[in-house]
């Protein structure tokens, strides 16, 4: 079943006499429960795609659906509720609040949900049981990303958007974070959309979308899924 659908989607920026298509006539369907990897060089349209699907940005032309509802027709209040009730976000820069503990940062995600998961379960799931009273400055990069994942996951989101989630991490830590995301997908059937420039990550996705110059140049459906810890690292 398709959770997202884009039809003839354009996102156009105008400057003087030029038009730049960040998305250039995209048609796309994303299946519920999948890990979807969006690959491409800088400026290919990856982040724009993520922003459109998450309702943060708006199409210039075309249609975007979430569970057969038109996102592009929603008003700001409806979009706010859509993000609050359905989405979780993980970023390269973690976006933790420095004067809150690990537990308090995760609780922020819980407060945004009407149907949160158990704090204790999620903290155990991401391996932070011994760090709940620490502050972000006392954590490694991998631990901070785990806090960000826990904060997003405790909301019990239908979709988890991950924008370069391993971009600031070394290979070992990056693979550990991706293994955690894979485990969450398998256990909670959370749809995951991972934007990355690292082609190695493609092997762990159900579907791989390669983008360039605002267009989808290739869509691959992997027959075999590689465990994150066995990925070759680029």
Q: For residue 189, is it within any domain?
A: yes
What is the value of pTM for the model shown? 0.91
Q: For residue 145, is it within any domain?
A: yes
Q: For residue 14, is it within any domain?
A: no
Q: For residue 47, is it within any domain?
A: yes
Q: For residue 6, is it within any domain?
A: no
Report pLDDT digits (tens) over 14-61.
888 888 899 999 999 999 999 999 999 988 999 999 999 999 999 999
What is the per-residue pLDDT for 18? 87
Mean pLDDT score, 109-137: 92
Cα→Cα distances 121→28, 44, 165, 208, Å: 35, 38, 22, 30
**CATH number, position 193:** 3.40.50.300
Q: For residue 74, is it within any domain?
A: no
On average, the pLDDT of the chain sits at 93
Q: For residue 39, is it within any domain?
A: yes
Range of the domain at 203: 32-61+86-230
Q: State the total domains in the chain.
A: 1
Report pLDDT digits (tens) over 76-110.
999 999 999 999 999 888 899 999 999 999 999 99
Q: For residue 158, is it within any domain?
A: yes
Q: How far apart are CA 212 and CA 208, in angstroms?
A: 13
The two structure tokens encoding residue 120: 């204790």
Pairing of strands 35-39, 207-212: parallel
- Angle, helices 141-153 vs 171-188, to 10°: value is 20
What is the per-residue pLDDT for 1? 60
Q: How many residues does the chain have?
A: 234
Is 22 in contact with 12 (CB distance < 8 Å)? yes
Return the sign of the alpha-carbon dihedral for residues 140, 146, 149, 150: negative
């Amino acid at each position: 079943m398709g959770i997202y659908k884009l039809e003839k989607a354009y996102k156009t920026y105008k400057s003087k006499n030029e038009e730049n298509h960040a998305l250039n006539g995209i048609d796309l369907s994303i299946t519920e429960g999948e890990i979807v990897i969006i690959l491409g060089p800088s400026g290919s349209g990856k982040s724009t795609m993520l922003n459109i699907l998450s309702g943060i940005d708006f199409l210039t032309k075309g249609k975007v659906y979430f569970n057969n509802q038109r996102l592009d027709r929603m008003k700001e209040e409806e979009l706010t509720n859509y993000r609050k009730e359905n989405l979780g976000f993980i970023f390269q820069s973690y976006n933790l609040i420095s004067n809150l503990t690990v537990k308090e940062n995760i609780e922020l995600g819980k407060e945004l949900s009407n149907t949160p998961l158990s704090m204790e379960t999620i903290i155990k799931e991401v391996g932070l049981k011994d760090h709940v009273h620490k502050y972000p400055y006392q954590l490694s990069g991998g631990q901070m990303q785990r806090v960000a994942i826990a904060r997003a996951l405790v909301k019990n989101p239908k979709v988890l958007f991950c924008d370069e989630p391993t971009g600031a991490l070394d290979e070992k830590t990056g693979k550990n974070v991706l293994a955690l995301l894979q485990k969450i997908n398998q256990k909670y059937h959370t749809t995951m959309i991972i934007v990355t420039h690292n082609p190695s990550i493609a092997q762990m996705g159900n579907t791989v979308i390669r983008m360039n110059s605002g267009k989808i140049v290739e869509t691959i459906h992997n027959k075999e899924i590689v465990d994150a810890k066995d990925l070759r690292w680029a």
